[in-house]
Structure 1
Amino acid sequence: MSFLRDPKRLVATLIAGVSGLMVLLDFAGSGGLIAFIAQTLVRWAALITAIALLIGILSVAWSHLQRVRQRHAEWGYSLVLLAGMLLVIVVGIFFPLPSRTGIVLPRSLAEQPIHVLFAMLYQPIASSLLALLAFFSLSAMLRALGRRSVDALVMIGIALVVLVVQLPPVATLPGVTAVVQWMNDYVALAGARGLLIGAAIGALVASVRVLLGFDLPYLDR
């Protein structure tokens, strides 16, 4: 009855449900008109996503540009963000590439200049953040030891065992390699599969709730 009292919600739910059902049937192998409608909907969604991404980039750039112009607190970070954004766009679009027919411009941001830029800038930064993760993990372990809970002690014990068995002097001991391989093949893989199955079930339930109109993330509330 709530749908009948709220035409906006009813129309939005019908559009979302029918669109999702069309795309789902297309994935199931339906052809003909359903496949055409589903492909059209997917292209529309890709176009809307690209437009939304462009608007978001312009909004972020304008916001940080205002921070730089007005010299707000920590405006230097905004300047770095704008410089990085401009560098990626310029390198990805206007950086010339050699080819058999001469020098050409890249056709997309997935061309080679972007990979070089990521290898020079992004990968070292990501490696530094991962290196800092070890210190954060050590800090979390010390805090967990301070609480003296059983769950924390079990997790710390397992982590220490995994770290110790991977040391070169320990890994060369007889039977250690087989035990580690067994743990990876059964214990770790079972946990990873459980997480994937749980995530898949959660995504399925969330999708069904959206299709049936129980959750309406597309409505402007």
Structure 2
Amino acid sequence: MFIQRLVFAVVVLALAGCSSNSSVSTGVFGSMLETAPRSESDVLYPEWGDTVSDTARVEGPHGQYRTRSYDSLESYLLANGLDYELLPGDYVMIRLKHKIHFNTASSKVSSQSAQWLSQLGYFLSKQEGIDVVIGGHTDNTGNVKLNDSLSEKRAKRVKQALVQTQVPSQTIYTRGYGEWVPACTNKTHFGKACNRRVELMLIVEK
């Protein structure tokens, strides 16, 4: 099932980003994943799990078939200097290495991040067959409940920015991870700034 593969891939992705000093609670982590699509009917292209597009059957990395959407997205990212990682799996999942960062206790997108996010949004608005998964994160400043809420607000703020560029809202999924999946240590100011972030993953039609 498509959605099962998606959730599994996101869990593996999130756990891979944890630093050695983080402690991820299985119970809490599971509840956060409930904000993800819960069934194939929740995604814009439920038929992805049953069919393979005939538009292009050139096999790419990890045995994934390349499509026009895949080629267009890859060309755009390379042309605009947006680093990314292609995740293994039956579906093309691209994790952007560019992160959107925030000030302490803020959900306002920085001006620098807003610029490339807007450009990406205009590109995605003209594409078909690309879904966006947005993950919000915080540092460990403040209490857990507030950080969970703040991470969700950050993810939703990024979704709003994409919708403003005409990306269909039904192709965008948000989730908040609070402070549970740090990318850096929380013991330094630099590390905390690193952890106040939103990450984007793009899922391309098979």
Alignment TM-score, normalising by the size of structure 1:
0.17
Query: Bigger radius of gyration, 1 or 2?
Result: 1
Name the one with the larger helix percent: 1
Alignment TM-score, normalising by the size of structure 2:
0.18
Q: Tell me which of the two structures has the higher relative contact order, counting C-alpha pairs closer than 8 angstroms and 6 or more residues apart.
A: 2
